[in-house]
Structure 1
Amino acid sequence: MAPTGPTLIGSVRRALALLELVAEHHELTAKRLSRMTGVPLATTYHLLRTLVHDGHLRHERGTFRLGPAAPRLAGPGHGHGTRLPEWLRVLGEELDAPVSYAVMDGDEVELVIRVDAPGRPAAEEWAEFRATAHAHALGQCLLAQLDPEARRAYLARRPVRRLTPRTVPDEEALMRRLAGIRRGAPVVEREEYMLGTVCGAVPITVGGVHSAVGFSLPVDEEDRLEETALRLRKRLERALTAHAFTVLT
C-alpha cells in the first residue's frame, strides 16, 4: 500500500473537522461551523444530524456540543480531537504491525492513510488499491459491508483478477466469501494481494460512512494473524463510548 497524507476523504474528513471544532469550542451553531470549515451549510446540517443520531454530538438550544460518544480517538486521558494519524500510530505500536485506514467513498474503495509501526513498514502497493479490493483485507472488509447488489455493481467496474496463486479465483467465489462474513467480524487474507504478506481488517463506521482499520504482517508471522485481528476488534470495541469510531456489531 502506498503512503498517503493525513488528509481524510470526503464525508469522513468533514465530519471529523466538525467534531474537532466542537471539542475545541465546547458549543457552536451550525452556521458558525459552516463558516469555520468552509463546508456548505446544507452539507453541514446533514453531517451534524448524522453525528447527533450516532451520539457523537448533542443538539441543544440551537448549538451543538459533544455527545456521549465523544470524538476522542486515542482513548481516556488523551483529550478531545486527537488526530487520526496519531491514534493509528499508537494502535500500530500496540499491535506491533503497520496499520491502515480505508473508507468506501461514494462507490470507490479509498485508502485514506497508512502508518508504519516501529521497524515494521507496511507492504508496498504494487497493484492499485481501488482496483484490487477483492484481494486485500481492507477491501474485502469494505465490500462485506455492502449489500449484494452494491457488491455486484462494484465488481462490474472493478472485476476480480488473480494477483497471486492464492487470490480468490472469480466473482462468484468472492461473493460467497463475503456473504459468509459475520457482521462486524474481522476479515483476514493470506497472500491474496501479495506473496509474503498476510493482512487483517475490522469494519468501523464514522457518521454512517463504511470504513475499516487494517494491518499487515510478514507471512512468517502468519500464526499471529487471527489473534492480532481479534485484538484489533477488541481494541475498537473498548473505544465505543469514547471515540468517533463505532465498530459495526
Structure 2
Amino acid sequence: MALKHEPTAPYHSAQDALRVLETVARHTTGITDERIARHTDLDPERLTTLLRMLRREGYVEQIADGAYVTGDALTRLSSAEGHEQALRDKLQRTLDRLRDSVGAAVYLSRYVDGEVRVSQYADGPTTPVVNEWVDFRSCAHATAIGKSLLGQLDVNGRRDHLSRHKMARLTSRTITSDKLLLRRLESQPPSVPHLDLQEYAIGTVCAAVPITAGSTVGCLALSLPLQDAHRLRRAADALNRNAAPVLLSLAI
C-alpha cells in the first residue's frame, strides 16, 4: 500500500520539536534557549513556541539557571520497558486536554492492516462520543475519520478498501457512489479537515485531520451534536493546530 505523504503544519511542528529534543538530550547538564536556537537554526519566536509545548507535555524541564534538560515524559517514552503503556497513557492525557480545549469528544484513529481502527478517545459528560451504531470499520465512506484515513492512501489503496466494504447508505446524506467519493478525496487539500455532516448518524457532525507518522496513517477527529454544528470548523482548526503533540508522542 502506497501512501500520499503531504506533510501538514502539525507534521512540521513535530519534526522541529524532535530537533529541539535531540539537541536538549545531547546536553545532559542543560542547554540555554540561545544555544538551542544556534544548534537547530530555529528563529527565537518559533523556538519559544516549541519549548512552551515541550514543557507542557513534560518532554523538557527548566533547571535553576534557566537551561533546559530532558523531562520525565521523554524518559518514560524512550524506555523500551513499558513503552506501549507509557505511550498510551501519554496520548490519553493529550487527548483529554484536547477534548477540554475544543469542547468536543476527540478520537485517535489509525489505518491498520487495511482497516479503520479507533485506538483511543476522550469523552466526558458534556462531550459524549458518537454512538457506534454501525461498525466504524465498515463505513469509512460515511465518517470523517474514514475519509481522512482514505485520503492519505494512494488511489489503489482507496479502491482496495472500497472493494472490501460496501458503501451502504446510513442516512440521506451518505455518499454511496465510489466515483464521487474518490473524486472528492482526490481534490481535498491535506490541510483542510474532512467533515461528516450527518453522513454517519443523524444529529451528529464530525471533523478529522491527518496525523501521518512514518509509515502509519492516522488522524485526529472530533464529534459534536448537531446543535453545535456552528462550532465545527473552528473546533476542527483548533484540533489541527494542536495535533503536533500527538504526532510527537508517536514519533519518539
TM-score w.r.t. the length of structure 1 is: 0.66
CA deviation after TM superposition for structure 1 residue 109, in Å? 1.1
Which of 156, 162, 175 in structure 2 is aligned with 1:168?
175
1:114 equivalent in alignment to 2:121:
yes
Q: Percent identity?
A: 33
1:123 equivalent in alignment to 2:130:
yes
Tell me the residue number matched to 1:234. Answer: 241
- Counterpart CA distance in 2 for 1:104 and 1:235 is 21
2:205 and 2:229 in contact (8 A); partners too:
yes
1:83 equivalent in alignment to 2:90:
yes
Give ranges in structure 1 of 5+ residues lacking alignment: 1-51, 59-67
Two-structure CA RMSD over aligned residues (Å): 3.0
CA deviation after TM superposition for structure 1 residue 77, in Å? 3.0
Which of 214, 217, 226 in structure 2 is aligned with 1:219?
226
Q: Give CA deviations for 1:77-133 in whole Å, capped at 9, x if unaligned.
A: 331246111110111000000001110112111111121035221111000110011
Runs of 4 or more off by more than 3 Å in structure 1? 54-58
- Which structure has more RCO (C-alpha within 8 Å, separation ≥ 6)? 2
Tell me the residue number matched to 1:105. Answer: 112
Aligned length: 183
Give ranges in structure 2 of 5+ residues lacking alignment: 1-14, 23-39, 41-50, 59-72, 78-88
CA deviation after TM superposition for structure 1 residue 207, in Å? 3.1
Task: Return the letter of the residue paired with 2:248.
Answer: H
What SS does structure 1 have at the residue aligned with 2:211? Answer: strand
1:178 equivalent in alignment to 2:185:
yes
Task: Return the letter of the residue paired with 2:249.
Answer: A
Task: Return the letter of the residue paired with 1:244.
Answer: S
CA deviation after TM superposition for structure 1 residue 194, in Å? 0.2
Structure whose CA Rg is larger: 2
Q: Give CA deviations for 1:57-93 in whole Å, capped at 9, x if unaligned.
A: 96xxxxxxxxx9xxx9x74233124611111011100
- Counterpart CA distance in 1 for 2:54 and 2:227 is 32
Which of 197, 201, 222 in structure 2 is aligned with 1:194?
201
Relative to its length, the structure with more helix (as a share) is: 2
2:145 and 2:219 in contact (8 A); partners too:
yes
TM-score w.r.t. the length of structure 2 is: 0.65
